[in-house]
């Protein structure tokens, strides 16, 4: 695992393809919603002579814009993930969860000190000092959060980006998740 970029593994490419496909679905759905809104408005005004369908047209246009924005954001994140995965290796980490906060505890032999920005030292029961990073998910989708929380206290794969963010995956997960480091706030509960 060390020495080779994460992109060289077939499971990583499959996970990336699944993530990008989800973003393309959002983008296509938004494009379809916008097209339906424009077509329906033209049909309502020119053929039916009923501009009273405006509520449905505005709703379709609104949903279309939301889909386009979400899809565009997902495609931009997918490109950023790809650049990170092509240049950085996977690191093994243990995932701890406490509410919306996550803590990545890196395996002692897998730590790259240059990429763990907001690192702390975690003393486990064996007296082993390991590097840890407090992060949060970049998603608010409940099903995506549940999948990540399902790996609580389990081993995950983490790829560190240059800007201090992370790309997370796990064995058999077949998707990618973005993580941002938490700012140090005194008195907040951490995992």
DSSP 1-39: -TTS-GGGSHHHHHHHHHHHHHHHHHHHHHHHHHHHHHH
Burial class (CB in 10 A: 0-12, 13-18, 19+), 33: buried
Q: What are phi and psi of 56, to 5 degrees?
A: -70, -35
Tell if the pTM clears 0.85, that is, is over it.
no
Q: With a cut of 50, which residues of the chain have pLDDT below it?
A: 115-119, 121-123, 127
Nearest to residue 106, comparing CAs of 149, 160, 150, 147? Answer: 160
pLDDT tens-digit readout, 73-119: 999 999 999 999 999 999 999 999 877 788 999 987 655 555 444 44
């Amino acid at each position: 695992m060390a020495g080779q970029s994460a992109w060289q593994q077939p499971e990583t490419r499959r996970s990336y393809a699944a993530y990008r496909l989800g973003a393309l679905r959002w983008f296509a759905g938004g494009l379809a919603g916008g097209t339906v809104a424009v077509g329906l408005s033209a049909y309502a005004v020119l053929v039916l002579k009923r501009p009273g369908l405006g509520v449905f047209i505005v709703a379709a246009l609104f949903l279309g814009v939301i889909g386009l924005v979400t899809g565009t954001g997902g495609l931009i994140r997918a490109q950023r993930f790809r650049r990170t995965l092509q240049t950085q290796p996977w690191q093994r980490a243990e995932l701890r969860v406490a509410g919306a906060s996550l803590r990545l505890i890196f395996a002692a032999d897998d730590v790259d000190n240059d990429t763990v920005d907001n690192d702390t030292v975690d003393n486990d029961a064996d007296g082993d000092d390991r590097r840890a990073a407090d992060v949060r998910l970049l998603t608010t989708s409940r099903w995506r959060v549940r999948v990540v929380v399902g790996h609580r206290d389990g081993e995950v794969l983490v790829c560190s980006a240059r800007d201090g963010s992370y790309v997370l995956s796990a064995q058999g997960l077949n998707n990618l998740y973005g993580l941002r480091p938490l700012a140090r706030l005194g008195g907040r509960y951490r995992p």
